[in-house]
Every structure is written in structure tokens, then in C-alpha cells.
Amino acid sequence: MTGFSSPVRVFLFDLGNVLIHFDHMIAARKIADRTGVSVERLYDQFFGSDLLIRHDAGKISVREFYEGVRERLQFDIDEPTFFKMWNDIFAPNEKMFALARRILSRFPAYIISNTNRSHFEHCALKFPVLREFTGWILSYEVRALKPDPKIYEAALKRAGTRPEESFYIDDRSDLIAAARKLGFPAHRFVGYDDLVKRLKSEKLLT
């Protein structure tokens, strides 16, 4: 009788609220305090806007994003100050950093994220573990946002694997559903302990 052998050859990690914590309200409150614009209006016209979606999808540059925000909200914050507030929303998930390093000791692992250049470059500097990953598949570079199949296809091409060989971890149930539809073994992240239990059950972690 042979033991269970997983086909998994590579890991794909979401970034936000998996490897790192983030809260857009931190930036919203700071910008609101500086400009006098209400937090509610700022959140509705900024964080929930097509402007941010186009920025994350790589359709507009960092400069165009800043100019678009400034025009919509009519503020006079200079660009470096704005991006300092905009980027200062992240905190490490240290247990997940340690787990990622354990996985990287056995498997290639990639970050696949809906993000933008300013956020990712800030995080890569602030959290050196992100630079230890085998590679990154980022929405603004691929010019496609999850759950668009294009970004998952870009991940497979980069990793040189098939969906069934690529274990995908994300906190959003809609993105997990999209990945499973494409054939990925996928885990909805709700916490470190639950993920470790799943990986051990599939003999992907010892």
C-alpha cells in the first residue's frame, strides 16, 4: 500500500490579510485629519472608486493616481506626504512570515496579489521576507485583477506548473472559488492554525 503523495509543487500566497495585515481606514483617517474631508466621503470616493481599481490594474501610473485623488478630493497635500500616509497601513503577520520561510525551504513560493506599485514597493522594503519569495505576480504588472483568469494564468506561466500542482492561499472566498474553478487546490485563509492543520493533513508541512 503506497502513502499519499500530493501533486503540489508550488505555493501561491495572497499578500494582504494573509502575509501582512492592512487597514485602509488608517490612511483614510490621516488624510481626513489633514484635509478636513470626512472619512466617509474619502472612503467612498477614494478607496471604493474606479480610480483605485485602475491603479491596481496598472492602467494608470503612480503619478496619475495621485493627481486623480487630488483632483477628486481637492486637497493640497504634496505627493511624498500623501504616499507616506497612503502606504502606512500595513503590519506584519509574523507567524505567517515564519510559515512562509518553512514552506520556502521545501517548495518554490510566489506572491499573487491585487496591489499597486506604491504599496508593493513599500511593503517589499518594510518586510524583507517578501523579497525571499521565489517571485511575485502582481496585478499592476500583469494588468489584471483577481479573479480574472489572466492573473492566475500568469502565475502558472511564471511558476511553470499546472493548476493542480499549485496550492493557492487567499483570505477572500470569491477568489478562492475562482481559483478552484480553474483547478487549483485552494485554501481560504482564516488564520495560521487552520492553514497549518490543512497543510499537515495533506503532508505539505511536517
The pLDDT tens digits of the residues spanning 52-95 come to 999 999 999 999 999 999 998 888 899 999 999 999 999 999 99
Domain boundaries, the chain: 10-21+92-201, 24-87
Query: Residue 172 and residue 186: Cα distance in Å, rounded?
Result: 11
What's residue 1's pLDDT? Answer: 38
Whole-number pLDDT of residue 4: 56
CA distances from 72 to 55, 69, 100, 153, 203 (A): 15, 5, 39, 35, 51
User: pLDDT at position 54, please?
Assistant: 96
Q: For residues 143 and 44, is the Cβ–Cβ distance under 8 A?
A: no
Instruction: Look up the CATH architecture of domain 10-21+92-201.
Output: 3-Layer(aba) Sandwich (3.40)
The DSSP bridge partners found for residue 80 are none
Number of separate helices (H) and strands (E) present in the chain: 11, 7
| Cell output for 88 | 502606512
Residue 2 has a pLDDT of 46
Homologous superfamily of the 24-87 domain (CATH): Putative phosphatase; domain 2 (1.10.150.240)
Identify the segments of the chain with pLDDT beneath 50: 1-2
Task: Evaluate whether 116 touches 82 at the Cβ level (below 8 Å).
Answer: no
Tell me the Ramachandran region of residue 143: left when phi exceeds 0, alpha when psi lies from -120 to 50, beta otherwise.
left
What's the pTM?
Answer: 0.94
